[in-house]
Chains A and B, each alone.
Chain A
Amino acid sequence: MKFTEEHEWLRVEGDLVVVGITTHAAEQLGDVVFVELPEEGTTVSKDDEVVVIESVKAASDILAPLDGEIVEVNSPLADEPSKVNDDPEGEAWFFKMKIEDLSALDDYMDEAAYKTFIG
């Protein structure tokens, strides 16, 4: 698993990358009440805003961690946003994307580095 400075986790699953937010991020956001997912088949560039999450406190964006194509989204999340708080690093993944070159992931933090990052 890899981690971004925007508190996303990235997990390789075959030739796809699964993206979600970390437990730390979910705790900071507070109770999530709204999730807007991208459409499957969307081509995205790194740092595009692809998911909107709103908690009881505020709205925030999830950015595309890499260039690629969104091939699958976790549609049930839109109806049950609270899953993001219940199981952020498991059931509450947001989308799976296909990228050109998985080695692009090497630029991101591993778990130990992320733990240091969040302090």
Chain B
Amino acid sequence: MDELKRTPLHDLHIELGAKMVPFAGYEMPVQYKLGVLKEHLHAREKAGLFDVSHMGQVILSGESVESIALALESLVPVNIAGLAENRQRYGFFTNDAGGIEDDLMIANRGDHLFVVVNAACKTQDMAHMRAGLEPKGVTPRLLGDRALLALQGPAAEDALAALNPAVREMRFMDVATVELVGAECWISRSGYTGEDGFEISVPEDKAVELARALLAQEAVEPIGLGARDSLRLEAGLCLYGHDIDSTTTPVEAALTWAIQKIRRTGGAREGGFPGAEKILAEFDNGAPRARVGLRPEGRAPMREGVEIFAEAEGGAPIGHVTSGGFGPTTGAPVAMGYVDIDHAAPGTKLFGEVRGKRLAVEVAQMPFVTQTYKR
């Protein structure tokens, strides 16, 4: 087995009492002293600091930001050419079958694009971008010298503004270059918890100093991967490799909002991405299954892999759970998964088979918590 990599914050995690686990080839903190439940609640009530340095930070450079954007549109079904300077958008790489190869954040930073991809996918994403973009004059470069921190929660703005008040001006999905602890940081007002907050790319030699400056504030606690997972689940956000993968299409995955009209049938830059034919046909004709929210009626969590049935007894499964657990803020189990389209309407009563018993579960609207983005 390959040796696990460490982020620039590794020693700080240990000092903070983190329990470290292997994750996507890295040694990462799954929880600190508070534990998953309290960390989750803290991030929703105050502010949580997450080390997400394992994720891939990539600069796409080329002749002009317009040419880079158009080149990336050949891999991603998102309106990137229309992404204004200092703005960010969510997107995904699709494959020829219409499936999703990875999801990513794409930011227009004036003369280049900055994208953040999942840790587990970054090697294949780099190969995919090189193959698809270099012939179009665009060079992807995976950064090895920057850490990535996320600061999330209602107190995130105050905590970050204490280091530089300029961040107060940012709205949801804005990006900016801001000096923090004497370092040039690339900040986006975004995150993956459903809360207001920021993601901060910081030079690795200043990462610990920045983390300490944030943690020194009363409202900020370090939060591990355990709570990050329950936070994003309550927020209805997909985890790549679980809720979306190379076999799920954007239409099935209920991610159609991320494909702007200009890239759909009849749009000015219709199609032109891998799997366009299949994906655009599903916009018109529907997909056979859909990703939905699931609320178990009892207290038993329904975790990944639980099969979903239409009937209390007999019959074949009509779906399965892709992420599930206890939602600390909802105070009840929550889940998401795929079900046949005939059973996907909110309010539909279904059954999840847990330890051989069929337990009642209802198709529910997501997110399970109210998003508090600063629009």
| Range class of the A interface residue count | 10 to 19
Number of A-B contacts (CB under 8 A): 39
Cβ of A36 under 8 Å from chain B: yes
A78 to B300 CA separation, bound complex (whole angstroms)? 10
Partner of B300, one of A30, A31, A54, A56: A54
A34 touches B226 (CB 8 A): no
Cβ of B32 under 8 Å from chain A: no
Residue interface bits A25-51, CB-to-B below 8 A is 1, else 0: 000001101101000000000000000
B31 touches A30 (CB 8 A): yes
Q: Which residue of B lies closest to A33 (CB)?
A: B326
| Range class of the B interface residue count | 10 to 19
A56 touches B303 (CB 8 A): no
The residues in A between 1 and 38 inclusive whose CB is less than 8 angstroms from any CB of B are: 30-31, 33-34, 36
- B interface majority secondary structure: mixed
B31 touches A34 (CB 8 A): no
Given contacts A30-B37, A33-B299, A57-B36, 11 further A-B contacts (CB under 8 A): A30-B35, A31-B35, A31-B36, A33-B301, A34-B300, A52-B355, A54-B326, A56-B36, A56-B230, A56-B326, A56-B328
A106 to chain B, nearest CB (A): 33
B226 to chain A, nearest CB (A): 6
B226 touches A57 (CB 8 A): yes
21 residue pairs A–B, Cβ–Cβ below 8 Å: A30-B35, A30-B36, A31-B35, A31-B37, A33-B299, A33-B301, A33-B326, A34-B300, A34-B301, A34-B326, A34-B333, A36-B300, A52-B300, A52-B355, A56-B35, A56-B37, A56-B230, A56-B328, A57-B36, A59-B301, A81-B299
Chain A residues, Cβ within 8 Å of B299: 33-34, 78, 81
B227 to chain A, nearest CB (A): 8
A33 to B333 CA separation, bound complex (whole angstroms)? 9
